[in-house]
């Protein structure tokens, strides 16, 4: 069975869906792996490394996809008119397409996969269950995004992160405020601490308080009886009273004004990112302060973020709104992403048939499958009209 790995052509994408390490393991399953020439170059994996691992190097996308039954991608394949190559049109009918296909916010994509006769699996829709943790592309990529955000903040901040004691005087440690304590936020907290910053963080989930403190950071938020009951039995945040929201906003505004660095990490699947940092908050920050907006791809958590750019406000605050934060550390991001996909395939590999077997009754398979048998089957998209 032939498996194809394509070069990513979407703007700013530096990652690749398989590495020489995972190619060896894919071949061990009995797969014939074809890698498009140059697919791993931006992540530091030359064609020679793939060839040594046992892959065939195809000169172009058409060559890699010829006869392929499985296609691995980082981002959704380009369709007609989206770029220099109609990748979708080259994928053989009946193939299994696996990647972060971002179809929830683009329902027409799922429809196009159905029309192309593909069995499409979108890995960002993986259910957050224990059995799926080793396949969780969102967590692996968010972890690296949180790390990279702090490293770039440190590079942009012109006063240094740790407390520096010299004969000429002492430079105080940077005050780092992390907004959101999910995977990216927790890694940002840990990285900020390792670099010597004084770190504080906030999150709407009461349970996050202990996670924040366990990493040595201080929790910022209104702590009262209402907060203690602000989470449902299922782990979701409850609607808070107007009085609570006002008090919380005051506390957050004060923390932002004190901060030298603010890291924004809040994302909502398939929707615009919530605005956490208003223009007034940014204007209250000291000149030379830095805001890093990991959510820039989804519009940004900061009201002044310009997605894809780094800007400096009139008040001297630097706002880093780069897109694709995992792609800014491509070798590590590709290595983790490729292992996620390898684990998914290995978990559902039928040794006797020498092919993947994806039972729809399985919770993981049901969670990621967009299309099957020429139809859109995912419950979040099955009733959505094509855009």
Which residues carry out catalysis? 128, 133, 136, 139, 236
CA 108, 109, 115, 121 dihedral sign is negative
Question: Residue 119's beta-bridge partner residues?
Answer: 96
State the greatest distance between any 2 C-alpha atoms of the chain, in Å, as a whole number. Answer: 72
In the block, tokens 């080793």 appear at: 134
**The residue to which tokens 């491509």 are assigned:** 330
Per DSSP bridges, beta strands 56-58 and 32-36 are: parallel
- Transcribe 165-187 into DSSP letters: EETTEEEPPPEEEEE--SHHHHH
DSSP codes joined into one string, 7-70? PP-STT----S--HHHHHHHHHTT-EEEEETTTTGGGT--HHHHHHTT-EEESSHHHHHTT-SE
Q: Where are the alpha helices (DSSP H) in the chain?
A: 20-28, 47-52, 61-65, 87-90, 107-115, 137-156, 183-194, 208-214, 225-228, 242-258, 279-283, 330-347, 363-368
- Tell me which residue of 335, 295, 375 sits closest to 21, measured CA to CA: 335
- In DSSP terms, 169 is beta-bridged to 166
- How many angstroms separate the CA atoms of 53 and 327, rounded? 24
């Amino acid at each position: 069975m032939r498996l194809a790995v394509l070069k990513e052509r979407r703007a700013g994408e530096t990652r690749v869906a398989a590495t020489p390490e995972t190619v060896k393991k894919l071949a061990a399953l009995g797969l014939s792996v074809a890698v498009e020439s140059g697919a791993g170059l931006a992540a530091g994996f030359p064609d020679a490394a793939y060839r040594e691992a046992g892959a065939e190097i195809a000169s172009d996308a058409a060559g890699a996809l010829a006869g392929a039954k499985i296609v691995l991608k980082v981002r959704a394949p380009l369709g007609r008119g989206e770029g220099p190559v109609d990748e979708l049109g080259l994928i053989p009918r009946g193939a299994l397409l696996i990647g972060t296909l971002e179809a929830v916010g683009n329902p027409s994509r799922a429809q196009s996969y159905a029309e192309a006769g593909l069995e499409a699996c979108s890995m960002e829709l993986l259910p957050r269950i224990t059995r799926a943790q080793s396949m969780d592309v969102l967590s692996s990529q968010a972890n690296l995004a949180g790390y990279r955000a702090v490293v770039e903040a440190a590079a942009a901040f012109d006063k240094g992160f740790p407390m520096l004691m010299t004969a000429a005087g002492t430079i105080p440690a940077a005050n780092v405020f992390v907004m959101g304590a999910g995977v990216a936020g927790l890694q940002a907290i840990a990285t900020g601490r390792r670099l010597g910053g004084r770190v504080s963080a906030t999150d709407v989930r009461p349970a996050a308080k202990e996670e924040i403190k366990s990493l040595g950071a201080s929790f910022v938020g209104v702590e009262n009886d209402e907060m203690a009951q602000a989470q449902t039995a299922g782990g979701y945040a409850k609607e808070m009273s107007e009085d609570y929201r006002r008090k919380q906003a005051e506390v957050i505004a004060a923390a932002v004004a004190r901060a030298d660095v603010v890291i924004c990490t809040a994302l909502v699947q398939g929707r615009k990112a919530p605005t956490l940092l208003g223009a007034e908050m940014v204007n209250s920050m000291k000149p030379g302060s830095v805001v890093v907006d990991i959510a820039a791809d989804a519009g940004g958590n900061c009201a002044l973020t310009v997605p894809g750019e780094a800007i400096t406000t009139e008040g001297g605050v630097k706002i880093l709104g780069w897109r694709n934060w995992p792609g800014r550390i491509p070798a590590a991001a590709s290595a983790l992403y490729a292992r996620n996909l390898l684990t998914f395939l290995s978990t559902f590999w039928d040794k006797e048939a020498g092919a993947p077997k994806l039972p729809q009754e399985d919770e993981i398979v049901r969670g990621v499958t967009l299309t099957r048998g020429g139809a859109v089957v995912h419950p979040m998209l099955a009733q959505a009209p094509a855009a």
